[in-house]
A and B are shown apart, each in its own frame.
Chain A
Amino acid sequence: MKVQKRKIFRTLSLFLCGTVLALSGCAASSAVDEVKEEKKESAEDSGETVKVGILHSLSGTMAISEVSLRDAELMAIEEINEAGGLLGKKIEPVIEDGASDWPTFAEKAKKLLQKDKVATIFGGWTSASRKAMLPVVEQNNGLLWYPVQYEGMESSPNIFYTGATTNQQIIPAVSWLLENRGKKFFLLGSDYVFPRTANKIIKAQLKAEGGELAGEEYTPLGHTDYSTIISKIKEVKPDVVFNTLNGDSNVAFFKQLKDSGITAKDLTVMSVSIAEEEIRGIGGDVLAGHLAVWNYFQTTDTPENKAFVEKYKKKYGEDRVTDDPIEAAYFAVHLWAEAVKKAGSFDVDKVKKAAGGIEYKAPGGTVKIDGETQHTWKIVRIGEIQPNGQFKELWNSGEAIKPDPYLKSYPWAKNLN
């Protein structure tokens, strides 16, 4: 009996050892193959396809948001391929997992550029992931399309920003609130770079435009107990809570706010990180009546959007929703394709040069690349959340607003940078 047991153990451990060896063998041989490949393949212009990288978190805390961006980008690539490809070539996506871990983003971006030699990368969500990829794309002269609204103060020559910068989201929202909802602001955010930077801008703007700061609070990412902060809000009675909380914290905050008897009629909460996808997680009934500011809603009324939403739902399921970052990820692929067509080449420098001024009829309205900052001109929209989880648009800027990541056109922002 004993001997048999030992035998089983021995076989098992040998088997394990074998697996590990085989795996490291695989890794080693693939590394060697790479050397060969590298010698064979001269540049991007080989073969029938052109590779592009898709680098989002498919695992970890950010996966819930980023997986739908990957889906939108794949859909756009499919559309281009169905229409005959780009410069006679089919686009071949190379998908990598950033794993919600910033050095992994840097590592995978490097892999995409050096090993796969992709023509461009679509990827990222958090600022930290973008900051991690930035030196990599700059050093390798790659291209990155970043599709999420962010805190501005950046314009890398190798990144195109298709999400809103602060003057296309936060600043118009604050002006609108001051005009329509009241002067007394309470700032609430998760403790990381975007809320802290956003609130610095808001404070300067309030000072310049006659608003009043009633309080400013930060909670760690993933924080779920808001009773203290809600009693503070009750005490100072602000007109508006400007909410830059991220992720799960929103669920806790809004549920506890509702439980404490404060509804949207008593107090407006304006959020910048809650889109249709997040509402699905929190529940439309809890959020109903509160506001959010974006450049696109699923309900935005354009013919392009109707087709886009229909197609997305048909492809990925009726229960899926579209939202601002999804739209920005989707049209980023098309903008890149337009730039490639105009340049007549996949070469990064030529594409960059051709990109300025390129327009595309995106689902949320026409967008245009600003050649100087490599951001996009976008329409700003403020919407009220309905119980069914969709937005009712209350206001929009009418025409696309010029991106100004460093807020150079705002005199009150002078001391910020």
Chain B
Amino acid sequence: MKNKTWLYWLFFLALFTAPFYLTEFRLSLLGKFLCFAIIAVGISLIWGYTGILSLGHGVYFGLGAYCMAMYLKLEDSRGHLPDFMEWSGVEKLPWFWKPFENPLFAIFSAIIIPVLLAAFLSYFTFKNRIKGVYFSLLSQAVVVVFVTLFIGKQEWTGGTNGLTNFSTVFGFSLSSPLTQIVIYLLTVLLLCFIFIFSRWLTRSRFGRVLIAIRDSENRVRFLGFNTTTYKVFVYSLSAAFAGLAGVMFVLQVGLISPAMMGIIPSIEMVLWVAVGGRNSLIGAIIGAIATNSAKSFFSENYPDIWLLFLGGLFISIVMFLPNGLAGLYESFVQRKGRRERRKNEAGSHVSRSVS
């Protein structure tokens, strides 16, 4: 396989220059999709590389988003109680809301809270060698617990309406196009870093252990590796990605509610990765962007029957492209390579240009 790096650079360059060729509205959509792409990278790490199917990443995303939203809500209220607390009969700001007045604390906890939850959960399940379907079910149960909690505690979380209606971040107006472009560029930068880091990780010795765990965990264990540590680490890492994605999501969409951390969004996240190709990091990113673009495109043009189109696309991709869009590309490249090799072998001289 030839060096594909220039393709990646081209891709990120296209994202970085998007503010020049997209309208304000399309840019905000793309920004939202990039947040989803960040989650997708995390899911590709645990599912594609390590073989852990988590159907509960909505929770980590939601926790990250709520942490940021709490700060934004407090900044919007300027010393008063947030509006939903007032009409829910709360008289004083609850103690755990207080530290979120500090944006750095909010961003820090948007990463650390999902990580702690993920580490706690995965340590006890993986240590007890719970895996496969059982782990997936467990992750769904966590989603249900959190959604119920967030809806029930309306006076602390805003209930089903969630947290919304923010005005400024770090003193900059969220509605100004310039702020939105800066936030968009930060999202691209974050995605870029996360992609490079994950790529480095998966190509390192650590990454090879992850793949080995996916293919035969018992054998890895017999070789003397403590697989629990590896799995807990990578699972927590993907939770951190989801939390960060939540931060960027709230900044761009201006809204977080329990519906966005529920079971359906959690499954959707896995779907993006399936469409893009779970064994490929760039595939996961493209999958998240392509799926969501298709969703927007179909629903704008055919508001009555767009779900049928989208469903058809999903079914056909899963049926005919089990390795997603990235898999299609790989097989294309491989076939081309094979054909070229055949051609070379047929020729009189033997070339040794296999890279």
Contact = CB atoms under 8 A, between A and B. Distances in A.
B165 A24 contact: no
A161 to B, nearest CB: 16
B88 A196 contact: yes
B287 to A, nearest CB: 11
B14 to A, nearest CB: 11
A114 interface: yes
A99 B317 contact: no
B89 A23 contact: no
Given A16-B321, A34-B26, A192-B160, A99 B299 contact: yes
A348 interface: no
B316 A27 contact: no
B25 A111 contact: yes
Contacts of B347: none
A35 B25 CA distance: 11
B86 A128 contact: no
B88 A200 contact: yes
A111 B260 CA distance: 20
A378 to B, nearest CB: 22
A24 B293 contact: yes
A38 B316 contact: no
A196 B89 CA distance: 11
Interface in B307-351: 307, 313, 316-317, 320-321, 325, 328, 331
A220 B148 contact: yes
A386 interface: no
B304 A58 contact: yes
A103 interface: yes
B164 A132 contact: yes
A400 B320 CA distance: 62
Nearest to A6: B335
Interface in A367-399: none
Contacts of B174: 139
Nearest to B259: A102
Given A13-B321, A24-B290, A107 B296 contact: yes
Interface in A120-141: 126-128, 131-132, 134-136, 138-139
A115 to B, nearest CB: 5
Given A97-B306, A115-B23, A139 B175 contact: yes
B151 A103 contact: no
Contacts of B28: 110
Contacts of B158: 193
Contact of A193 (B25, B159, B294, B321): B159
B154 interface: yes
Nearest to A204: B89
A415 interface: yes
Contacts of A197: 87-88
Contact of A131 (B86, B152, B164, B321): B164
B162 interface: yes
Contacts of B299: 96-97, 99, 104, 108
Interface in A387-417: 415-417
B164 A134 contact: yes
Given A16-B317, A102-B259, A102-B260, A127 B253 contact: no
A101 interface: yes
A59 B306 CA distance: 9
Given A13-B320, A20-B290, A96-B300, A31 B162 contact: no
B164 A135 contact: yes
Given A12-B320, A101-B259, A191 B152 contact: yes
A132 B260 CA distance: 12
B320 A135 contact: no
A17 interface: yes
A200 B154 CA distance: 12
Contacts of A38: 23
Interface string B159-179: 111101110000000110000
B24 interface: yes
B21 interface: yes
B254 interface: yes
B257 A31 contact: no
A277 to B, nearest CB: 19
Most B CB atoms within 10 A — which of A12, A26, A197? A197
B88 A115 contact: no
Given A106-B253, A106-B255, A128 B320 contact: no
Interface string B246-282: 0000000111010110000000000000000000000
Nearest to B173: A139
A20 B299 CA distance: 16
A127 B26 CA distance: 26
A107 B297 contact: no
A262 interface: no
A24 B25 CA distance: 17
Contacts of A97: 299, 303-304, 306
Interface string A167-200: 0000000000000000000000001110011001
A200 B89 contact: yes
Contacts of A153: 83, 87
B160 A193 contact: yes
A31 B23 contact: yes
B130 interface: no
A415 B154 CA distance: 17
A87 interface: no
Nearest to B154: A196
B25 A95 contact: no
Contacts of A32: 21
A220 B148 CA distance: 8
Interface in B73-129: 83, 86-89
Contact of A134 (B165, B259, B304, B325): B165
B165 A191 contact: no
Given A102-B257, A103-B255, A106-B255, A96 B303 contact: yes
A417 B243 CA distance: 33
Nearest to B297: A27
B29 interface: yes
Nearest to B27: A31
Interface in A1-32: 9, 12-13, 16-17, 20, 23-24, 26-27, 30-32
13 contacts: A16-B317, A31-B22, A34-B23, A34-B25, A35-B22, A97-B304, A102-B259, A107-B29, A135-B164, A136-B254, A192-B151, A192-B160, A200-B88
Interface of A: 9, 12-13, 16-17, 20, 23-24, 26-27, 30-32, 34-35, 38, 58-59, 95-97, 99, 101-104, 106-108, 110-111, 114-115, 126-128, 131-132, 134-136, 138-139, 153, 191-193, 196-197, 200, 218, 220, 415-417
Given A135-B165, A136-B254, 8 more contacts: A16-B320, A27-B294, A106-B253, A127-B161, A138-B165, A192-B151, A192-B159, A193-B154
> Closest 3 CB pairs between A and B?
A139-B175, A192-B160, A97-B303
